[in-house]
Amino acid sequence: RMSRHAKKLRDHDINPCVAETDATTKCMNDNNYNKDLCTDYFLKYKNCRIFWHEIMMQRKRSGVKPEMPSAEERKKILESMG
């Protein structure tokens, strides 16, 4: 059984970087946990976190609720950026 925290991390509306997390985990599993072979995945995850954190902080400053856009909203944001 997954803890409530683990469920939150898997929820696409709460965690905008589920895909990057999964890709990083898969890379680590596939490469016997050699971090050096998964640098690109770690970087993509880090960039994802930085990007959505900035969006969240902008929304918080503007009084927009919820502070983290839903998965559907995030998709539209990314599409509008090209």
Question: What token pair was written down for 1?
Answer: 């059984």
Q: What would the pLDDT profile of 61-79 be if each residue is shown by its tens digit?
A: 999 999 999 999 999 999 9
Give DSSP secondary structure letters for 19-39.
HHHHHHHHHHHHTTT-GGGGH
**Dihedral sign, CA of 61, 65, 67, 72?**
negative
* Residue 16: predicted pLDDT: 94
* Residue 34: predicted pLDDT: 97
Q: What would the pLDDT profile of 17-60 be if each residue is shown by its tens digit?
A: 999 999 999 999 999 999 999 999 999 999 999 999 999 999 99
Please state at what angle helix 39-62 crosses helix 18-30, rounded to 10 degrees. 160
